[in-house]
Homo-oligomer: A and B are copies of this chain.
Amino acid sequence: MGMSNRPVTVDDVAKHAGVSTGTVSRVINNAPHVSGKARAAVERAIDQLGYVPNKTAQSLAGQRRGSVVLAISSDDPGLFANLFFAQVVTGVNAVVEETDLELQLVLAASDRGRARLSRIFRARAADGVMLLALKENDPLSALAESSGVPVVHGGRSLDSEPRYYVDADNRGGAREAVEYLISSGRRRIATITGGQDQHVGVARYLGYREAVVLAGLDDSRVAHADFSEAGGAAAMTSLLDRSPDLDAVFVASDAMAAGALSVLAARGIAVPSDVAVVGFNDIVTAQHTTPALTTVRQPIDALGREMTRMLLRLIDGDTPTSLILPTSLVVRESA
């Protein structure tokens, strides 16, 4: 059992099976043009010798890399980033696992990580790359494009729509959330937005406006924030000062919603009876806020899965179409 020092090679297998290396290779890759007899002999030899193909050699000879990389460039060390990360990886892995590709991870927030990614593109050192949470206008995006390496983006950026991407339906989710508020009788609906320099920030704001305007309601109760809890609190304060009559607020992230809730609580405003609150993301703490937060959930593992499927198709030479994944409203107590 593999006690020998020198690993078993195709030549050993060929010799042992009494065929040529070419035939062994054909069997390994179950290519056509192999007689049943030869195949059986080779398979027996492989078994007896405990042969495992050397992937490096396969790659070199076969002109493919045998690996895809998942690059995550979020430098946000926050809870959401972490969980998001883990779930995406899970989804990606589930699909990669079905192939015989390796999954390489690159955390591209640091300079070293970015350099690494750049090298991968320049050297075509992977069969494909999934790019997650790239900053707006990231130079890596252009490099990726020009390298010829298949690339799938997770999420979009404001400046330019990637050729291939998977994204959550941020606008639709926001719209649905607000429509829910409207259907439950709210009429003076405010919103706290995330950074308007990011696609998700804008998309969720647009979804809010769409719903509010369509219902013929006032869309002027807007406070811009930055996705942070503190920002959410500040925005809620400003909203309350400007429009004390509001009866609902759609908040573009759960973290901001948590900030908003604490301001509401501090002012003695009851949720949801006085003011209904809806968040976005469905982070874990959403269940633990007081009251538990009604929010919009993104299908994060599906995002990972679909990105990977798309990448595989791209590697196969297909031309997939970008995808927008539906969100779902999770109704708890706050609305």
Give A contacts to B, CB under 8 Å: 1-2, 7, 50, 52-57, 59-60, 65, 67, 70, 77, 79, 81-83, 85-87, 89-90, 93, 97-98, 102-107, 110, 112-113, 116, 119, 122-125, 146-147, 284-285, 288-289
CB of A116 within 8 A of CB of B104, answer no
Q: Give the CA-CA distance A286 to B176 in the complex, in Å.
A: 32
CB of A123 within 8 A of CB of B52, answer yes
CB of A52 within 8 A of CB of B284, answer no
Q: How far is the CB of A165 from chain B (nearest CB, A)?
A: 22
Q: How far is the CB of A7 from chain B (nearest CB, A)?
A: 7
CB of A57 within 8 A of CB of B60, answer yes
Residues on B with C-beta less than 8 A from A53 are: 123
CB closest residue in chain B, given A289:
B288
CB of B52 within 8 A of CB of A56, answer no
CB of B87 within 8 A of CB of A82, answer yes
Q: Give the CA-CA distance A21 to B159 in the complex, in Å.
A: 44
Q: Give the CA-CA distance A52 to B116 in the complex, in Å.
A: 12
Q: Give the CA-CA distance A289 to B89 in the complex, in Å.
A: 28
Which residue in B70, B122, B288 is a CB contact (below 8 Å) of A2?
Answer: B122
CB of B97 within 8 A of CB of A116, answer yes
Q: Give the CA-CA distance A65 to B87 in the complex, in Å.
A: 28
CB of B112 within 8 A of CB of A97, answer yes
CB closest residue in chain B, given A288:
B288
Residues on B with C-beta less than 8 A from A50 are: 122
Residues on B with C-beta less than 8 A from A56 are: 56, 59-60, 65, 125
Q: List 29 A-B contacts (CB under 8 A).
A: A2-B147, A50-B122, A53-B123, A54-B123, A54-B125, A55-B123, A57-B60, A67-B104, A70-B105, A77-B90, A79-B83, A79-B284, A81-B86, A82-B83, A82-B86, A82-B87, A85-B86, A89-B89, A89-B105, A89-B107, A93-B113, A97-B107, A97-B110, A103-B104, A103-B105, A104-B105, A285-B285, A285-B288, A288-B288
Given contacts A97-B113, A102-B104, 4 further A-B contacts (CB under 8 A): A7-B124, A52-B125, A85-B86, A104-B104
Q: Give the CA-CA distance A77 to B86 in the complex, in Å.
A: 10
Q: Give the CA-CA distance A26 to B138 in the complex, in Å.
A: 34
Q: Give the CA-CA distance A110 to B57 in the complex, in Å.
A: 27
Q: Give the CA-CA distance A127 to B113 in the complex, in Å.
A: 20
Q: Give the CA-CA distance A122 to B67 in the complex, in Å.
A: 19
Q: Give the CA-CA distance A33 to B7 in the complex, in Å.
A: 32
Q: Give the CA-CA distance A57 to B167 in the complex, in Å.
A: 36
Q: Give the CA-CA distance A104 to B82 in the complex, in Å.
A: 19
